[in-house]
Amino acid sequence: MMQTLTLEQTADRLAGLEQVLILFHARPDGDAVGSAFALRRALTLRGCDAWCVCPHELPNRLRFLVELDGEDAQNSVLADAIPERFTDAPVVSVDTAAPGQAGDLAEQLLPRCVLMIDHHASGTPYADSYIRPEAAAAGEVLYPILMRLREGDGPLDPIVAARLFAAIASDTGCFKFSNAGAATHRAAADLLDAGFASVIEPAEITRRLFDTKTPGVLRGEQTALRNLRLFADGRIAVTTLSHAEREAEGLRPEDTETMIEAIRVLAGCEIAATMKQADDTPLWRVSLRSTGPNVAEVAAQFGGGGHHRAAGCAVEAETADAAVAALVEKLQAALGA
């Protein structure tokens, strides 16, 4: 029988560990990495032997969070890098709401999971858990736990504080999303008060997380802006990426992920859409973002789905023009335009 734990029970359970594998979700983001490595650092300082593991390797842009440990930085989070001494070690997961998010590691590691620490409301618990859906980030959930685990009543270790700050910044879109409530800001302020600028400046953390783009991403956004088409007096913004353009520009999938962000900022735009041709086929993958109209209903008309303000589908068409025309007809209907 799985239990729901209190803050005190959660801290006690962590305090009792002598060795642990810290699991975090596939396609890791700043919250997952910041939280997992904050926990690793906090437990290591207590003499616990801890190692972080994830079904996917860390993106380069998040490696700086691991490297705050200097020479002790963990090189890889993949399963085959786990030192042999952890073969039977208990597992604690962070920011991992359901078994599916553990990817290939689920079968091997979830039966050994003794504690899941998370902030997602709609997960599927797979172990005794401490879940705070009102928290914006796993880092916000961990903050009071790690305060309990520190030695004495001094400030938090600066590297732990920096990682928790990065985790919270990451899941709130740099304190910009609606999940960043007063409690979230207070936790972040407490972490700033703990003082970690000697390790890394807070502004350097947010610059690396939010204001840093690779040349490929810039070229992807350049393509998005070059191909921008407006409809319904600018209430609809659509951009396209054909297979030929992708090849000509040498764009990898990770270079085209922010195309939608580059166009949805347009003033007066209510629905933004990107249409990316799937290889050399007559299939265009569509991402939709909305400031109000229900784009999940539009996506459903093409066999797709999603949320009210963010959805996806695929449109079949021989050319970009035909793909845009087919989609825009439905978008205009959704707007009543």
Residue ranges binding Mn ion (CB under 5 A)? 31, 95, 138, 171
Query: In terms of CB distance, is 155 or 173 closer to Mn ion?
Result: 173
Query: In terms of CB distance, is 169 or 331 closer to Mn ion?
Result: 169
Distance, CA of 134 to CA of 128 (rounded, Å):
19
Query: In terms of CB distance, is 34 or 306 closer to Mn ion?
Result: 34
What is the radius of gyration, based on Cα positions, of the chain?
22
Positive or negative, the CA dihedral 17, 21, 26, 28 is positive
Nearest distance from residue 274's CB to Mn ion, in Å?
24
Report the 10 Å Cβ neighbour count for 201: 12
Distance, CA of 99 to CA of 110 (rounded, Å):
7
Nearest distance from residue 181's CB to Mn ion, in Å?
15
Nearest distance from residue 188's CB to Mn ion, in Å?
15
Query: In terms of CB distance, is 94 or 127 closer to Mn ion?
Result: 94
Nearest distance from residue 95's CB to Mn ion, in Å?
4
**Token digits for 77?**
């989070």
Residue nearest to Mn ion as judged by C-beta position: 31
DSSP alpha helices (H): ranges in 46-157?
63-67, 106-109, 138-149
CA 224 from centroid of its chain's CA atoms: 23
Query: In terms of CB distance, is 117 or 275 closer to Mn ion?
Result: 117
Residue with tokens 């949320």: 307
What is the three-class DSSP state of 310?
strand
Nearest distance from residue 94's CB to Mn ion, in Å?
9
